[in-house]
Amino acid sequence: MKNKKFYLTILVLLIFILSACDSNTGESDPYQIVVSTSIIGDVAEQINGGILNIKVLLAPGVDPHSYQPTPQDIAAITEADLVLINGYGLEEYLNSILNDEEYNEKIVVVSEGIEIDDGDPHVWLDPTNVVVWAENISDAFAVLQTKNETEFRENARDYINQLNELDNWIFETIDQIPMENRVLVSDHLSMGYFADRYGFEQAATISHSASSLAEPSAHELAELIDLIIDLGLPAVFIGHDVNPELAESLTSDLGIMLVELYIGSLSTDEGPASTYLELMRYNVEAIASALK
Ligand SMILES: [Zn+2]
């Protein structure tokens, strides 16, 4: 009987000590970061290295122009410590939130500082612009969690080295495309930064808009068909994340190739473009093999 009471006392004491330990030494919750697209999510994770908690709003394959946030997404944005977006009109669904002062302070426009072309938000198709992303993201993370500043800065430096290697590789790979063939027609105005960097001409787009949501008029479509025939273009390029119907019927009528690229989103983990670096390599190889 005495023994039992003794053990019970010890047990109660142990539970008390353990619970006290737990509340004193337990790590505080990591900061919550919400990012809009899977491409920004990958770049942010390269710099984060698993320290902060990153949630990506748009699943791979989802078009950032047409996306509609769920109530859970709005809740995640409300609770987040930082929200990383591309900005410059890409995240049309965030327009109302961006104008709300409650959210203003925690929103980081990762493309801040990049010279914007004709309202086109697709800056990441030039890797030198992603260097700016990496700098902006590591700055934002370092301010949020100063104790890990060194890690964030080192990760950013390593990643920027990889971006510079990618840039060199793209120049080498497009060397096989004759200058006169460096002409791009894509579904919407999205290839301008890539074209400027690597000496292509973005000759026309199916919809005359920097958003995939616009549709061409019959007149615009007729002009586009004339241009493709006049220039003898072998292919039209389209993002995996947009509705292909119109581009499919156009290219099949003209008897030319429809080449799918990864523009607004990564592929799934099993696909060929599960990181930004893979995405660019995939796109450049597809463009080179269609136009060489
Ligand atoms: Zn787009």
How many angstroms separate the CA atoms of 288 and 25, rounded? 56
Angle at which helix 276-291 crosses helix 38-48, to 10 degrees, equals 130
**Residue in 131, 147, 143, 152 with CA at minimum distance from that of residue 81:** 143
271 CA distance to ligand 1 middle (Å): 20
Residue range 176-291, CATH number? 3.40.50.1980
Q: How far is the CA of 120 from the centre of ligand 1 (A)?
A: 8
Q: How many CB atoms lie within 10 A of CB 2?
A: 6
d(CA 197, ligand 1 centre) in Å: 18
CA 118 to ligand 1 center in whole angstroms: 13
Report how far ligand 1's centroid is from the alpha carbon of 260 (Å).
13
CA of 210 to the centre of ligand 1 (A): 6
All CATH 3.40.50.1980 domain ranges of the chain, comma separated, are: 32-170, 176-291
Cα of 190 to ligand 1 centre, how many Å?
A: 6
25 alpha carbon – ligand 1 mean position (Å) = 47
pLDDT in tens, the chain (292 residues): 455 555 555 555 555 544 444 443 445 678 999 999 999 999 999 999 999 999 999 999 999 988 888 999 999 999 999 999 999 999 988 877 777 888 888 999 999 999 998 889 999 999 999 999 999 999 999 999 999 999 999 999 999 999 999 999 999 999 999 999 999 999 999 999 999 999 999 999 998 888 888 889 999 999 999 999 999 999 999 999 888 999 999 999 999 999 999 999 999 999 999 999 999 999 999 999 999 9
- What's the CA-to-centroid distance between 269 and ligand 1, angstroms? 21
Is the whole-model pTM more than 0.85?
Answer: yes
For the segment(s) 32-170, the CATH number from 3.40.309.10, 1.10.3720.10, 3.40.50.1980, 3.10.20.30 is 3.40.50.1980
Phi-psi region of 61 (alpha: psi -120 to 50; beta: other; left: phi over 0): left
**172: CA distance to ligand 1 center in Å?**
26
Residues 6+ away with beta carbon under 8 Å from 84: 33, 34, 35, 36, 40, 44, 108, 110, 137, 140
Gap from CA of 174 to ligand 1 centroid (Å)? 23
Measure 162 CA to ligand 1 centroid, in angstroms.
24
